[in-house]
């Protein structure tokens, strides 16, 4: 999952980035409102963390402008302590949640996970395709009750695939949701990582149907049955 952090205090922005990267998220930072709006409207993010007081355009305006452009990426507003009006206008402008500064990283992480989970509320915290499950809270991946150990990037890739079961995902879509802007990933890298995942998820189960399918000329799909 790829997250945009718009925050002019470099220290806060960088510590959020570092913390989220340790949790296998891809993170871009913007340090002005203008850059934040440009990135949010040109790149594909799964979540935006947005400060209110920013040079250029403020967070409330960014939020309104994105929603008026039909960009519905979940937005979490960061407000300074006690500024109740900010929270209210943030939520009124189309934000999904807010967090008061200063905050504990654990709380930010919990809210990030809750926002990303929203469309999946009926399924709870686990993503599943066939006999493969991924628990988004414990990071545990299992197939047929066998525990599978993945690197952070492999996990991020599998999570993205599992959030779109039976859908064809292009390499470009995968790159833009699994890697950050600075990563300069080539389509070949996606092939390499798909290969790593197959080695761990499909190859150890030779008598089962492979879950990851290549759709020639289009991309990849994860699903329990071949279509
Ligand atoms: Ca600020």
Q: How far is the CA of 153 from the centre of ligand 1 (A)?
A: 31
Q: Where in the chain is the domain with CATH 1.10.10.10?
A: 125-222
For residue 82, the model assigns a pLDDT of 66
Q: What is the pLDDT of residues 10-27, one digit of tens each?
A: 999 999 999 999 999 999
Q: Give the predicted TM-score (pTM) of the model.
A: 0.74
Distance CA 188, CA 193 (A): 9
Averaged pLDDT, 83-91: 77
Per mean pLDDT, which range of 11-15, 17-21, 84-88, 218-222 is the poorest? Answer: 84-88
For residue 88, the model assigns a pLDDT of 79
Which position has the higher pLDDT, 14 or 135? Answer: 14
Q: Following CA atoms 153, 154, 156, 160 in sequence, which dihedral angle do they give, to the nearest 10 degrees?
A: 140
Q: How far is the CA of 32 from the centre of ligand 1 (A)?
A: 9
Q: Where in the chain is the domain with CATH 3.40.50.2300?
A: 2-119
Distance CA 222, CA 212 (A): 5
Q: Is the pLDDT of residue 226 over 80?
A: no
Largest interatomic CA distance in the chain: 59
Distance CA 64, CA 198 (A): 42
Nearest to 198 by CA among 208, 183, 184, 187: 208
Q: In CATH, what is the architecture of 125-222?
A: Orthogonal Bundle (1.10)
pLDDT band at 89, cuts 50/70/90?
A: confident
Write down the CATH number for the domain with range 2-119.
Answer: 3.40.50.2300
Nearest to 56 by CA among 32, 25, 22, 81: 32
Q: Is 50 in contact with 8 (CB distance < 8 Å)?
A: no
Q: How far is the CA of 82 from the centre of ligand 1 (A)?
A: 15
Q: What is the pLDDT of residues 34-55, one digit of tens each?
A: 999 999 999 999 999 999 999 9
Length of the chain: 227
Q: Is the pLDDT of residue 61 over 60?
A: yes
Q: Is the pLDDT of residue 122 over 60?
A: no
Q: Is the pLDDT of residue 121 over 50?
A: no
Distance CA 1, CA 177 (A): 5
Averaged pLDDT, 92-113: 92
Q: How far is the CA of 139 from the centre of ligand 1 (A)?
A: 32
Q: Is the pLDDT of residue 72 over 80?
A: yes
- Protein residues near ligand 1, an ion, with CB under 5 A: 8, 51, 53
């Amino acid at each position: 999952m790829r997250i945009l952090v718009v925050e002019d205090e470099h220290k806060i922005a960088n510590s959020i980035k570092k913390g989220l990267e340790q949790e296998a998220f891809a993170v871009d930072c913007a340090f002005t409102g203008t850059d934040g709006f440009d990135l949010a409207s040109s790149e594909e993010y799964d979540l935006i963390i947005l400060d209110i007081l920013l040079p250029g355009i403020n967070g409330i305006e960014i939020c309104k402008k994105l929603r008026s452009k039909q960009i519905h990426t979940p937005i979490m507003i960061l407000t300074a302590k006690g500024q109740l009006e900010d929270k209210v206008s943030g939520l009124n402008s189309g934000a999904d949640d807010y967090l008061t500064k200063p905050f504990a990283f654990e709380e930010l992480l919990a809210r990030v996970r809750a926002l990303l989970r929203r469309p999946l509320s009926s399924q709870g915290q686990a993503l599943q395709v066939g006999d493969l499950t991924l628990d988004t809270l414990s990071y545990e991946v299992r197939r047929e009750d066998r525990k599978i150990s993945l690197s952070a990037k492999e996990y991020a890739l599998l999570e993205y695939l599992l959030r779109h079961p039976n859908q064809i995902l292009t390499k470009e879509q995968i790159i833009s949701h699994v890697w950050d802007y600075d990563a300069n990933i080539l389509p070949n890298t996606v092939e390499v990582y798909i290969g790593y995942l197959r080695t761990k998820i499909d190859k150890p189960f030779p008598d089962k149907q492979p879950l990851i399918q290549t759709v020639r000329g289009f991309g990849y799909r994860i699903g329990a049955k071949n279509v």
